[in-house]
Structure 1
Amino acid sequence: MELNTLNYAVQIEALTVAYDSKPVLWDIDLNIPKGKLMAIIGPNGAGKTTLIKAMLGLLIPVSGKVRFFKEPIDNLRKLKNKVAYVPQSGSVDWDFPATVLDIVLMGCYGRLGFIKRPGIKDKEAAMDSLKKVGMEDYALRQISQLSGGQQQRVFLARALMQDAEIYLMDEPFKGVDVQTEKAIILLLKELKESGKTVVVVHHDLQTVPEYFDWVTLINIKVIASGPVEEVFHEQNLKTAYRSTGNLLKNAV
């Protein structure tokens, strides 16, 4: 499917990332259209989280380029209010004294800077974001006292505060119950319907057709990327997951 390059939220060209000289991502070419709700899927060790981190500039690639809205990732000044990131809760050191509300208010620092303090309207917006993820009753709780799933929802609320153009999320459904997962995917679909681009590292193949309209399959390299109805099929899944046939049985 060909799209005008003006309609791309993210453009990745020849991206290679290695750990200790071992390639984790190899020669990745990937264009993500604006206004899509996209899943990144692949087996464990395929490089899904690495891809997100490399897109954000959190990892230095061996080679390649990443652009958001035609701007290179190293131009952070122009991108800081456009890109929001929701990491896995397990990847964060939670041993610091901050309340849930404090964490969510960090989402407006890109607009305010670190000198100007959030005002009443910012705090109201933060509470509204917490309400959207069902965490308003925990606003004054220490973040370290929450479960992993609750912490994940707080990070999502912080991302909503940024009012970004693109949201990058690393397994936002990990550790949450079914009811919370349904609430989160409704939020993500609302973001997509409002013109935002949402990119999600995802592991549950069975929910891909229900949750997403675009999908990228990777296993060190890009296997396929495009509309779910076109690329989410048995042959691409077998290529991405190799011999994990049992995993595919109910996925398509």
Structure 2
Amino acid sequence: MSKPIVEMKNVSFHYGDRQALSDVNFIINEGDFIGLVGPNGGGKTTLIKLLLGMEKQTNGTIQLFGQPIHKFKEKNKLSYVSQKANTFNRGFPATVEEVVTMGLTAKLGYFRRLSRQHKKRIYEAVEKVGMTGYLSENIGELSGGQQQRIFIARALVSNPQLIILDEPTVGVDAENVEKFFELLHELNKQNITLLLITHDIGTMTHHASRVACLNKTLHFHGNPNEFQTLSKDQLSDFYGHPLNLVTHEH
């Protein structure tokens, strides 16, 4: 049986007087591919900040890899791909190799020379995302889909067990979105656990192994097929406004 690598119990969080999360109970098991959906302002970004240690919950407990989050030190087990990752300025002076190397900065510091082993890990990470021919290319010259692959490589280079992706397909064309999800499925098969935040419910129900719907509290956490059977009224209640579920046929 898969073991939980994230456990949130009765978690609440406030920004001053405003409640962002209320009594959230959420588990991510080893090997999951979870699609986290919900409305703007529903607390998805706050949940990420809590898992990354950027904020501290007001109430409740969070465990990462079996440890209370305030005692968790193995930061390399978790990687994050920001929603803003693929908005590099075209003139940004960094090669693909340099961007992927940034994934080792927390471990190496900024000024330590790369060892042969580190360079091997960089190459292997780029190879996993199918971008080995682009190591010397400027990151700003790549397409949105290619950039997103490089940011996945940057996340992979530290050998994480959990990758959190925030709206990773924003600005990526439909053909490359499908290729991107193929890559995620390959990584998931290699026992990398994925938490993907998105507004695209239809795509998520097609690709994820589990779907979680968050609007301040967790309204649903289960099988994508079950999520697709929810009525329009149930979804509208979860989101707080009228909503239609659009499925994607492949």
**Farther off after superposition, 28-37 or 53-62:** 53-62
Q: Which of 54, 71, 74 is the equivalent residue of 2:67?
A: 71
**Aligned position for 1:189:** 185
Q: Which of 19, 40, 59 is the equivalent residue of 1:23?
A: 19
- Measured after TM superposition, the shift of residue 123 of structure 1 is 2.7
TM-score (norm 2): 0.83
Q: Distance in 1 between matches of 2:110 and 2:71?
A: 19
Counterpart mapping for 1:46-125 below 5 A: 46-77=42-73, 79-89=74-84, 97-112=93-108, 116-125=112-121
Q: Distance in 2 between matches of 1:142 and 1:181?
A: 22
Q: Is the 8 A contact 1:56 1:73 kept in 2?
A: no
Paired letter, 2:181 = I
Unaligned runs of 5+ in 1: none
Q: Which of 236, 239, 248 is the equivalent residue of 2:237?
A: 239
Q: Distance in 2 between matches of 1:251 and 1:145?
A: 31
Paired letter, 1:86 = V
Q: Secondary structure at the match of 2:157?
A: helix
Number of residue pairs the alignment of both structures matches:
246
1:198-227 CA distances to partner (integer Å, 9 max, x unpaired)? 110011111123211111011111001122
Q: Is the 8 A contact 1:88 1:152 kept in 2?
A: no
**Farther off after superposition, 107-116 or 169-178:** 107-116
1:113-160 CA distances to partner (integer Å, 9 max, x unpaired)? 556422334334324433444544543345456666554333211011
Please state if 1:248 is matched with 2:245: yes
- Measured after TM superposition, the shift of residue 179 of structure 1 is 2.8
Q: Secondary structure at the match of 2:203?
A: helix
Cα RMSD after superposing both structures: 2.9
Q: Distance in 1 between matches of 2:75 and 2:193?
A: 15
**Aligned position for 2:31:** 35
Q: Secondary structure at the match of 1:101?
A: helix
Percentage identity across paired residues of the two chains? 33
Change (3 A) 1:134 1:194: closer
**Aligned position for 1:157:** 153
Change (3 A) 1:92 1:28: farther
Q: Distance in 2 between matches of 1:234 and 1:114?
A: 49
Q: Distance in 1 between matches of 2:183 and 2:160?
A: 14
1:68-101 CA distances to partner (integer Å, 9 max, x unpaired)? 1111222342x22211111112698979754332
Q: Is the 8 A contact 1:89 1:149 kept in 2?
A: no
**Aligned position for 1:218:** 214
Q: Secondary structure at the match of 1:27?
A: strand
Unaligned runs of 5+ in 2: none
Change (3 A) 1:238 1:107: same
Change (3 A) 1:136 1:167: same
